[in-house]
Amino acid sequence: MAVRRFLSATRYSLPSIRSKPVLLSVFGTCIALLCYLLFFKSNLSLEDLKNAASSGYLTSQPTFSEIMSDVRIKPIDEVPVSPLELIPDIEIAMKKKYDQSWNFLSRGKKYRMFNDYDLNTRCEFYFHNLYNLKEDWTNNIRRFTFDINDLDTSSRLGNLMDEDGVQLADEKSLRLYKRTHNVALGMERLRLYDKCFVNNNGPNPVKMNNFFSKSKSITSKLDKEVMGKHISYATTRKNSFLNDLDSSSFQKYDQWDFEHRMFPMIPYFELHNFTSVMPIFTGPNSPEPLPQGKFPVLHRKTGEVIRLETFQYDSTKSLWANWNDMSSACAKRGIVLSAGDGQTDVVIRLIATLRAQGNRLPIQVIHNSQLSTDSVKRLSEAAKSKTFSSGPAQSIWFLDVSPTIEPSMKQNFDRFKNKWLSVMFNTFEQFVFIDSDAISYINLAEYFNFPEYKLTGTLLFKDRSLTFQTEQKCPALFETLEPRMLESYYFGTYPMINADHVEETCMSSLSPEEKVYKKFFEIGHQHNLESGLLAINKNKHIIGLAIATFLNISPKVGGCGWGDKEFFWLGLLVSGQQYSIYDVDASAVGVPEQKKFTEKGGPSDDYQICSLQVAHTSYENHLLWINGGSQYCKKPEAFEDDWKNIEGLRNSFSDDKEKAMDAYSDIVNIEAAIIPDTKGGDWGREDQRCKGYFWCGKFSTKVKPYTYNKVINKGKLIYFDEDELRYIEKINSIWNSAIAPSA
């Protein structure tokens, strides 16, 4: 009809009849294009068109019942417990509405898939619905469980009865509880917190104060665009990604509640009182601490104080984005250690070696109100006294982080777990952490130049290749914590290690990170990495460190590693962040003892070094650092029991007790290092001397049977040259003989 009217209206203006075929061909092309758009681009069939016409779809919106027809009642084991689990069903509904829409020009904008939205909108969807799914959600470790099949339900369910003997729970309800309180949900929240609020490098990062604004948010405005004015959509839960559930639960709370739920280890704070949870700084020139809220801005090359600043919390940013800003303002790089009064003498030895090496990096000693004023004075004097050392004075600061820890959780940070307070709450952008009894034979600043560190912002070292097994449940527990498929697809956070690749590949073809993964998750080795010295870009990996802290203080997995050592790499693994492991195995250092054996395969030369120290050598066979101090035994109080109970000790010193006692506190004699074979079995203990800290590393060499000169080496024996040995002895002597001047 429209074509006929157009032809009728224009026939008198056409110059000749020859123009009509041209005009008709133009209209034919238009009609063909329209059909193409209708039936091919819109995925509509002729039957769809008939149904649409008969139902009056062109003039009305879908009814509530039509939209809900695709919704099914989910079994209890499929009830959504994460906002990510809402998305697939919503996408199905959105795809159906897209296919049914006749608004070809705007339906692509109106009915978008989740990944079509920008990161900020996806973040808002996730965290809004976090409250909607479970209003009282929290990352409190006391409420976490693991969703693994570890319940003896047959015996435990029998106890869940009321006084009339009625069963109060079944296996399905217990499973739902475990899913709802699964620690994996907490890890997911932390990863997406990092993605949305810490390392959001987009052009318009999320503003925290707007994100929790009580006024109309970005999402509600977008909802109006998607929804129009059709009220029946508003409560379907299937209408859009931006208002999937009622937002009233979310709007009860604010960013301060959110931060405390995310990080329950930190006391609740608001904008006006953030300084009350900041560490208290004490400088090297005065025993009096700075007013809380003030921090030093240090010179990037010398570590000297340029000025003092009062930190101003930026409410548009998250807690850890603010902490990173403070760290960047304080100093780019520095040295971090954890100490209390009991470690003061050992820290003094460390300061002596740093001065001898000409260290220029500032130092922060982190403590939880465990360092007295007297200890602060002694350490400050050791850092600057010219009579104590001729090396450059050290810029040393003491941070009391007790205000930064929730009082009810302080008991979770006992002994070695204080290390987590140091790596999280220091105020350096990048840091080298060193144990107070570790000794580095290169300047600590050099670790920042390692290719591994430059690649990922982390540098971790391997532990002795011991064959102790972790608890059987531990690999299963950690396997559940890495990024899962929905998170990877919708937010781009992926597992750092491809588990299938690791399982199918032999050890020699794997990267150092994959080798450690295989040893823990497949072989079940408990000892994999050292934590006596490590370098980390804190601004980049702060959430990985937070995850590691959560896991190490969690009662369920705290025993899966020896102390804190394994949790550094496991925390970074769970965070989905890249990390680097130095690809040289740990060694024993000392004087090699040669033994000759004759076996079936012929004679072999075996060498053994027994020592307290765990040593780390470079790719070029130089000694990088050792853990355990430079003394023969760092536990001199163990001598009397050792002398009484260990015959081998008495024999090695020809029953000269006084000589043996002096040797216990003397420096260890280092000539070489042995890296035992990593397949296991070449680390061992001959006795329990020095409270069991002594380990022996073995190296063997022999001619392969039935060959003339083909030598088989098992392990690696490294002899240091004379210049290196003199330097090692010098540093060890300084460490061992350091006595602090009077304060």
What confidence tens digit (pLDDT) does each residue in 655-678 have?
899 999 998 989 999 999 999 998
Residue 212 and residue 551: Cα distance in Å, rounded? 29
Q: Token pair for residue 47?
A: 């039957």
Q: Which residues have a Cβ under 8 Å from the Cβ of 466 and sit 6 or more positions away?
A: 525, 526, 527, 680, 683
Among 307, 431, 454, 289, which Cα is nearest to 369's?
Answer: 289
**Model confidence at 7: pLDDT above 70:** no
**Model confidence at 241: pLDDT above 80:** no
Per the CB < 8 A criterion, the answer to whether 429 and 539 are in contact is yes
Helices (H), 363-497: 373-384, 418-425, 451-456, 473-479, 485-491
Q: What are phi and psi of 32, to 5 degrees?
A: -60, -40
Q: What are phi and psi of 513, to 5 degrees?
A: -70, -40
**Model confidence at 348: pLDDT above 80:** yes
Mean pLDDT of 494-520: 95
- Segment (H or E) for 707: none
Three-class SS state of 387: coil
Per the CB < 8 A criterion, the answer to whether 481 and 574 are in contact is yes
261-270, 272-281, 648-657: lowest mean pLDDT where?
Answer: 648-657
| DSSP-assigned letters across all residues of 577-627 | ----B-SS--BEEE--EEEEEEETTEEEEEEEEEES-EEEE-TTS-EEEEE
What does the pLDDT read at residue 291?
96
Residue 464 and residue 614: Cα distance in Å, rounded? 7
Mean pLDDT of the chain: 84
pLDDT digits (tens, 9 = 90+) for 402-437: 999 999 998 888 777 889 999 999 999 999 999 999
What does the pLDDT read at residue 3?
42
**Model confidence at 548: pLDDT above 50:** yes
Mean pLDDT of 103-130: 87
Q: Which residue has the higher pLDDT, 163 or 698?
A: 698
CATH number of the structural domain 276-314+328-575: 3.90.550
Q: What is the share, in percent, of the chain residues with pLDDT greater than 90?
A: 56
| Range of 210-224, 237-251, 459-473, 593-607 with top mean pLDDT | 459-473
What does the pLDDT read at residue 220?
43
What does the pLDDT read at residue 94?
85
Q: Which residue has the higher pLDDT, 234 or 61?
A: 61
Q: How many CA atoms lie within 13 A of 320 on its CB side?
A: 27
Residue 125 and residue 78: Cα distance in Å, rounded? 20
What does the pLDDT read at residue 369?
92
What does the pLDDT read at residue 4?
47
8 CA to centre of own chain: 75
pLDDT digits (tens, 9 = 90+) for 457-480: 999 999 999 888 888 888 888 999
Q: What is the share, in percent, of the chain residues with pLDDT greater than 70?
A: 79
Three-class SS state of 50: helix
**Model confidence at 696: pLDDT above 60:** yes
* pTM as predicted: 0.84
207-221, 304-318, 508-522, 562-576: lowest mean pLDDT where?
Answer: 207-221
Domain boundaries, the chain: 61-147+182-211+213-252, 276-314+328-575, 588-737
Q: Give the confidence band of 156 by pLDDT, cuts at 50, 70, 90.
A: low
Mean pLDDT of 563-581: 94
Q: Give the confidence band of 740 by pLDDT, cuts at 50, 70, 90.
A: low
Using DSSP, how many helices (H) and how many strands (E) does the chain show?
29, 20
pLDDT digits (tens, 9 = 90+) for 275-297: 999 999 999 888 899 999 999 99
Per the CB < 8 A criterion, the answer to whether 459 and 447 are in contact is yes
Mean pLDDT of 323-328: 96
**Model confidence at 79: pLDDT above 90:** no
121 CA to centre of own chain: 25
